[in-house]
Amino acid sequence: MSRPYVIDQMISAKEIAARIEALSKEIRKTFPAGERLVVVGLLRGSFIFIADLVRELQDREVEVDFLEASSYGNAMESSREVRILKDLRGEIGGRNVLVVEDIVDTGYTLSHVVALLKSREPKQLKTIALLDKPSRREVDFRADWIGFEIPDEFVVGYGIDYAQSNRNLPYIGKVRFTD
């Protein structure tokens, strides 16, 4: 059923850490120091990125929440139909919100989530994605902050899966099929 493949490293753990440190400085400039920031991770792909990002914001008052939106399931193609599988636990009306995503591909997932969360009238809502594949975009959407812009490669690791595997790699790699 599954094709044989190997994973070639594309972005090292060290490069990711350095980029997150730089991004956290930008985030700090945008959100007021005295106000609590609600950091929202999109499950499941963002779980490692959000864990590293909030620890770079350890000097801030941060609340962590999660939302699960799935469009891919186990497929390699976007279904273009975004389903909310798990909503936030907390309220975000009138609050500072940062939505954290692993990758923006077609743009359907993050644009759908942003529209949903903006309807709850947060004070400020910003988005950050570790990876961006602009060549794949199907809806007009751009995250406020991006870690790395990448070409149209099938990437895994640092939270990102291929058929629910490889999320636990500490680096970003690209899948190369060997058949």
Give residues in contact with Mn ion (CB under 5 A): 45
Q: Which of 105, 140, 152, 179 is catalytic?
A: 105
- Nearer to Mg ion by Cβ, of 148 and 154: the residue is 154
Count of other CB atoms within 10 angstroms of residue 87: 11
Of 11-19, 27-35, 96-104, 169-177, which segment contacts ligand PRP by CB under 6 A? 96-104
Active site residue 52: no
CB of 173 to ligand PRP, least distance (A): 15
Decide if 65 contacts 98 (C-beta within 8 A): no
CB of 45 to Mn ion, least distance (A): 3
* Bridge partners (DSSP) listed for residue 97: 38, 125
CA distance from start to end of the chain: 12
- Nearer to Mn ion by Cβ, of 7 and 129: the residue is 129
- Using the rule CB under 5 A, is 72 a contact of Mg ion? yes
Q: Which residue has the tokens 């186990």?
A: 74
Burial of 70: CB neighbours in 10 Å, binned 0-12, 13-18, 19+ = middle
Of the candidates 42, 20, 15, the one whose C-alpha atom is nearest the C-alpha of residue 98 is 42
Site string for ligand PRP, 11-50 (x = CB under 6 A): -------------------------------xxxx-----
Of 9-17, 26-34, 64-72, 143-151, which segment contacts ligand PRP by CB under 6 A? 64-72
Count of other CB atoms within 10 angstroms of residue 92: 20
Which residue of the chain is nearest Mn ion when measured via CB?
45
- Indicate which single residue of 101, 128, 130, 155 sits in contact with ligand PRP (rule: CB under 6 A): 101
Count of other CB atoms within 10 angstroms of residue 29: 8
Please list the alpha-helical segments (H only) found in the chain. Answer: 13-30, 47-56, 108-118
Catalytic residue set: 105
* Interface residues toward Mg ion, by CB under 5 A: 72, 161
